[in-house]
Every structure is written in C-alpha cells, then in structure tokens.
Amino acid sequence: MCGIVGYIGHQNACEVVLKGLERLEYRGYDSAGIALLGKDGFRTVKTVGKVADLKNKIGDSGLVGGLGIGHTRWATHGGVTDANAHPHSDEHNRLVLVHNGIIENYLELKEDLLAAGVHFQSQTDTEVAAQLLARLYNGNPLQALCELFRRCRGAFAFVILFNDRPNELYCVRKGAPLVVALGENEAFCASDVPAIVEHADRVVFLDEGEICRLDASGASFWDLNGCAHDHPTTSVDVDPTMIDKAGYTHFMLKEINEQGSVLRRAMSGRITEDTIDLSGEWGISAAQAKAFRRLDLVACGTSFYAATVAQRVLENYLSIDIRVDIASEYRYRPLKADADTLALFVSQSGETLDTLEALRHVKEKGAYTVAATNAPNSSIAREVNDVLRLNAGIEIGVAATKTFTAQLMALILAGLYLAKLRGELDEKDEKRLVSAMKELPYKVEETLTLEAELKALASKFSKARDFLFLGRGISFPVALEGALKLKEISYIHAEAYAAGEMKHGPIALLDEELPVVVVAPEDYLLEKTLSNVQETRARKAPVIFLTTEGVTAPADIAGLIRVPRTEPELSAFLTVIPLQIFAYEAALLRGCNIDQPRNLAKSVTVE
C-alpha cells in the first residue's frame, strides 16, 4: 500500500525523506509528496506520478530543513490527482500528515465536519483525519491523537507534524506497519525497513495501537489510552546491496536469477546429510505434532499458489486433513478450527492485512499458528507462535518470484518435518527427497539458461489478447501462478484451469487466437494432460508445452520448453521458472513497467 517516511535531525530532511520514499516506491506509485516544517511554517510539495516526478517538481526550490514527512501513494479513496496526493493539512494549517491504510468510517466523520463548516481540498479519507485532528488539538498532541483513534475505524499508520511543535514529530500505528529508527541526534520512521536501513540498525517496530513521538534525542511511546511505556529497540540485518539491481535491467529479472542461491539458503540449517531437521527453528514436540488433527494453509496471491503446491505435495506424507484457503475468504468463514488445528500463514511481506486478519480470526479459536515469511519482524511474524523464515532477501519487484520458490521449500520442508515428528515420513522417501532437493539449485540455474528460447516464444505470442494456462495436480497451482505473473506485469488477460476441468466450459474459448500454456512435467498425470493437449489442438489453439527432459512432446505444438528432471513432487521448483521468464519477456516487449506494474503494490495493507 502507501509508503510513508518521517525524519527529524541534523541532515536535510528533504533528501532523507526523498531517498526513503524511493526505497518504498514498491508500495505504491500513483503520486508522491513531501512537507517540511521550518521557521516560516509548512512547505508542502506534491504531485501525481513517481518520486522522480516529485524531485523534478521540487527542483532547486531550496526545500531545506531538519524536520519533514513524505508519502508515496497507492490510491484507495479519491482519484489519482494532485489534490488527493499526500501530505494533507487542515484548513488552518495547524498540522500536516501522511497516511497509509484506510479509515473505514471516513464518510460519517466527514459529514460531521462539513456540518461544522469545514472546507475540504480533496476526496481522501486522509484529509478527514487531518481536519478532525486539528479540531481535537488544543496544544496536547497525545490527547488529540488518542481521541482521533477512538473515533476512526480501520487500519492505518500516520506520521504527523504540528505547526507549533517544530522539534518533534508523531507517528501512530493501528493495523498498518510502521518502524522507527534512532541515530546520533536524529530519528527516522517509515512503513518498512528499506527506507531507513542505511541510517541506523537500531529500530523499533511499532506495536498495534502505539503512539510514538520522535525528537532529535530519541523516541517516547504511549498506548492509545495515553499511558507511557518503554519499547526496546531491535537490530535489523538488512543487506543494503539487496536493494540494488546488481546490473540487471529490472529487480524482477535479478530476483528470478537469484533463485538458485535462494534455494540454498532456504535449505541451509534445515537439511543435514540426508535428513530433514527443523528443530533449530520450529520448537514443536513430537507430541504436539501428533496432536494436530488438521493443517490450514492460508495466504493471498502468489503465496496462496505456493501454499496450494505444498498442499498437493504434503498430502502424500501427512495423514491429517490439509486445507488451503484464500485469506480474505478464510477470514469470514465459520471455521471449525480449534487447539488441534495447525494454521500456517504464508506471506512474503508479513504485512498483508487479509492474511493478518485471517490469523487473528483463527487464533481466537485456539489454533497453533505459524508464519512462513520473508519479514521476521513483520506484523504477522509478531502475532504467530512460530516463524519459518524464507531468507530470500528483500524482494523489490512487485511481482513475487524468488519468494514463491523460497515459500515452496520452507512449506514442503516444514510439512515433511511435521510428518517425521508424527512418525509418518518413511526414511526412504526422506532420503530420496533430500537428495533431489540438494540438486535443485543447480537445476534451477540450468533452467534459467532457457531465457533465449522464452524470449523467442514471447515475441511470438506477446501480442495475444488472452492466454489459458493448464495443469493437473501440483502443476495446476503452477499454472495459476504462471497466469498471475503474465497478468500482473504484461496486463494480458490470462486464466488458469485444472486441465481436466477445461472440457467443462473453458474449451468454448479455444481458437487460433488463444495460446494455451500446458504445464506437464513427467508424473503420474502426464498421460491425462496429453489428452487435454489433443482436445486443445483439435480446436486449433496454439499450445506451448512445458515439460521435463526426456518426455516425448505431442506433435504439432507451437512451443516446447523442457526443464531438467527431478522427483515428481518437486517439479514446481523448475516448471515455475520458465513461466516467470516468459511473463517478464512478454511484458518487456509490451513496454510495461515491470518492477512497478500499474494498480499494484508489493504489500497490501488494506482489506
């Protein structure tokens, strides 16, 4: 969602804030803005477009000062206009603020303010908060903030400057992430670590319902009832080189090419000689493992597809009922979960609100909760019983790639470890899978060399209006992921179906204009999938056949992609790579913004 940044200290806040916004641009890039508080009050500059456009607008207008806030927007309320861009002030310029999240009851609050004669500049829920806070403010920021949050419903994080308080800024978290960093006589706050990591490694992840005041000497904390408390700092080990393209044209291409080393990291400390052992990070006992009656895998988007692949693999090894569900649905279902339920939440950002709320929903039922996440300090990670780290390194490209692969490995290893603790994993299977897993990084790197063939296929088909992706078993969620990648970055309409389901309707769509990608690695379902290829060819639709080395390809196909052999259960690690690269190449040919596709954001912190 939106990215917000605040700074107070001896550096030029304009530079610090702009740099921070650039680092958070994957969270939203519809408009950007900055406000500094100097001796002659607020100076605000905002514009539709990216941080680069904001920099141009600032130009050499000499925007200098030691106190400032900034915002990069993913529009929720009000169109993409300069007026709706943040920061927003009240009509008397008593304060200015930036906001990430949604105020669900903003309309009723706005009606009261309009009735009180307040004039609005924008259509945003954010300006409603600014106008209301200014009316509540009588010189005591804490009191006004507590009252504001008693009246506002929804999930939000704010950073606020008060005109009569030039030596401090306030930030508040209620449902949307906010991290604070403390340096030598300076302090920073932001929606996420990349914005502040180069300035300080002592950080505080604000808790739910926490208010923080920053001044150059440090931070003070209160809850939403105005009660003060200490909040210890945490150190973060984010490698700043992860936040650079390392010579690649796009972060997405860099992250696709990192998947061999990502897999090595995802296995390290979890696989020994030829056995699986997660006791170092997942403290559950054999008794606990045996007590579970059900495993719920819950996630959104690409993470949901990774969870679905894991379900298809693990149901061969675990005797318990494994369910996989979309978080925004799971969240509102009358769950029959209880203390015998293991609920595993998959989220690379660890901040996806649908998944966070689904977690809170099942926790109420007493379930044991685990998160597989790339952000060990995220909201989801801080609210579960155990965390399985993805260790994929920061992923900047909005379209998830390397984190999908890291999620697959973390989930499959965790599930097999659970089966082992339950005495359900046969030693022979463990040895067979572990030896195949150890070869996967090399086979992934071999698959990455298919780029030229995929570039050629993309140039053949990137003008298509629609695509269909088919797969069976493990390859059905891989087909879903392939379709999502193509949709996300090339804006080509793409649907994925279980191959056996096609004849029950979608087959009506088939003709020469509709390319069909068939994911058909060598496994017990290959033959069935080959008959679906015949059905497709019978309707003249061009087929791109993605399979394993050594498999005889059907005749008369439009494209053939072969990935190296591996154990059937592990085919997704290899078959997904060509689909990522194909989407990348198609988007490149269509001139799309690959790292920041339209209408998307890297972590979705609204429902």
CA atoms within 13 A on the CB side of 567: 15
Whether residue 408 contacts residue 310, with contact meaning beta carbons closer than 8 Å, is answered with yes
- Residue closer to ligand AGP, measured from CB, 302 or 405: 302
List residues near ligand AGP by CB under 6 A. Answer: 300-303, 347-349, 352, 355, 398-400, 488, 603-604
- Min CB(398)–ligand AGP separation in Å: 5
- Min CB(600)–ligand AGP separation in Å: 6
The gap from C-alpha 591 to its chain's centroid, in whole angstroms, comes to: 24
- Min CB(380)–ligand AGP separation in Å: 8
Listed in sequence order, the residues at least 6 apart from 440 whose beta carbon sits closer than 8 Å to its beta carbon are 263, 566, 570, 573, 574
Number of neighbours of residue 488 by Cβ within 10 angstroms? 24
Question: Which residues are identified as catalytic?
Answer: 2, 602
- Min CB(344)–ligand AGP separation in Å: 13
- Residue closer to ligand AGP, measured from CB, 252 or 468: 252
- Residue closer to ligand AGP, measured from CB, 76 or 303: 303
- Residue closer to ligand AGP, measured from CB, 89 or 603: 603
Angle (deg, nearest 10), helices 301-314 and 475-490: 170
- Residue closer to ligand AGP, measured from CB, 354 or 451: 354
Euclidean distance between CA atoms 368 and 359, whole angstroms: 10
- Residue closer to ligand AGP, measured from CB, 407 or 548: 407
Q: Pairing between strand 154-162 and 202-205?
A: unpaired
Whether residue 306 contacts residue 485, with contact meaning beta carbons closer than 8 Å, is answered with no
- C-alpha distances in Å from residue 178, one per residue of 2, 89, 358, 402: 11, 21, 20, 25
Q: Pairing between strand 67-72 and 31-38?
A: antiparallel
Whether residue 516 contacts residue 468, with contact meaning beta carbons closer than 8 Å, is answered with yes
Euclidean distance between the first and the last CA atom of the chain, given in angstroms as a whole number: 11
- Min CB(332)–ligand AGP separation in Å: 18
* CA angle centred on 579, ends 352 and 533, rounded to 5°: 120
Euclidean distance between CA atoms 19 and 22, whole angstroms: 5
Please give the residue whose beta carbon sits closest to ligand AGP in the complex: 301
